[in-house]
Amino acid sequence: MKEAQSGSSLLLSPQRQKVPVWGRKKRVIVIAGPTASGKTHLSLKLAQAIGGEIISADSCQVYRGMDIGTAKTTPEERTLIAHHLIDICDLNESFNVAEFYKAAQESIKEILVRDNVPIVVGGSGFYVHGLLYGPPQGPPSIPEVRQQLERQMHDLGVEVLFERLQILDPTYAATISEFDRHKIIRSLEIMAISEKRVSDFSKPAQIEQQDYDFRCWFIYYPREKLYSRIELRCEEMVRNGFLEEVKELEQKGLRQNSSAQQAIGYRQALAFLDSPQTTHDREYFLTQFKKASRQYAKRQFTWFRKEPLFRWLNVEELDPERLKELILQDFEQNE
């Protein structure tokens, strides 16, 4: 994994000198980064220092009960700092990027009315991109079509459906990978309903057309340190009752939610529950959980390298207080 340059040098990028254009807009802080990079801790410190409220940009933290595996903030932390878009859905409800965009926009407006600072926090690149540029265009979902495609993915495998997408819309397929199960199903659904390619639809709005000045940061550790942190966190989640959480969620319909059941950790835990659950099975589950988490972190790096608004900060080179001060100084400059 090629690491980005780090430190305060990125604060002087030419893109961020266009203050007169965006300076009149209300500012929104966006904190992204790979799993286990310390986004939650940083966001809480920022919120305390600046009078902020946190908006979760995590595709699974919206679901009640998915607590340990999504590393939700604790109830105590949510009492201290207001949080939004956490625990707003049951597992029998769907939630997608368009719904996230609408809910996040509403939360930003509510926070600004209170004269507080919106702080968007999360590693779901698709959601963050949707907030910055607007949700992807396309017709509303039709449950029957979606369910048929989900059955095909289960029966035939994701590779077959991704190959179908590559044939039908090679332009859009080139922008995603075979790991993007939700986007593969959604794109095939759009084409089945509209009889148009996904790439034929209008692109999301440009950032200049947005109502806000997004101050975007990507925090990270170098690969070796990050992977070590990821593996330790996976082990801690299991010790804290992650498998028990998945057992309870299974009774509430986890397997019927196509997005939630594929979430990192939950997919591996469900496979473990389907096994004889021997010591070997448990060790294999933990190995696969760690592997999937590392792979996800790698994809997060890849995704955010394509996002020009984000400035990267190496957490290993900056102590927490300095990290907080850099972001606050940027937020407050030229106001």
Q: Provide the residue range defining the domain that includes 275.
A: 228-294
Any domain includes 212: yes
Structural domain total, the chain: 3
Q: Does 179 map to a domain?
A: yes
In a domain, 301, yes or no: no
Same domain, 169 and 260: no
Pair (286, 173) in one structural domain: no
Tens digit of each residue's pLDDT, the chain (335 residues): 445 443 333 443 333 333 344 447 899 999 999 999 999 999 999 999 999 999 999 999 999 999 999 999 999 999 999 999 999 999 999 888 889 999 999 999 999 999 999 999 998 988 999 999 887 777 877 888 988 998 999 899 999 999 999 999 998 888 777 877 878 998 999 999 998 998 887 666 566 677 899 999 999 999 999 999 999 999 999 999 999 999 999 999 999 997 899 899 999 999 999 999 999 999 999 999 999 999 999 999 998 998 999 999 999 999 889 999 999 999 998 65
Same-domain status, 33 and 124: yes
Tell me, yes or no, whether 62 and 182 share the same domain: no
Same domain for 161 and 18, yes or no, is no
**Domain shared by 129 and 218, yes or no:** yes
299 located within any domain: no
Residue 45 sits in the same domain as residue 91: yes
3-state secondary structure the chain: CCCCCCCHHHHHCHHHHCHHHHCCCEEEEEEECCCCCCHHHHHHHHHHHHCEEEEECCCCCCECCCCCCCCCCCHHHHHHCCEECCCCECCCCCCCHHHHHHHHHHHHHHHHHCCCEEEEECCCHHHHHHHHHCCCCCCCCCHHHHHHHHHHHHHHCHHHHHHHHHHHCHHHHCCCCCCCHHHHHHHHHHHHHHCCCHHHCCCCCCHHHCCEEEEEEEEECCHHHHHHHHHHHHHHHHHCCHHHHHHHHHHCCHHHCCCHHHCCCHHHHHHHHCCCCCHHHHHHHHHHHHHHHHHHHHHHHHHHHCCCCEEEEEHHHCCHHHHHHHHHHHHHCCC
pTM of the model: 0.82
Is residue 2 one of the residues assigned to a domain?
Answer: no
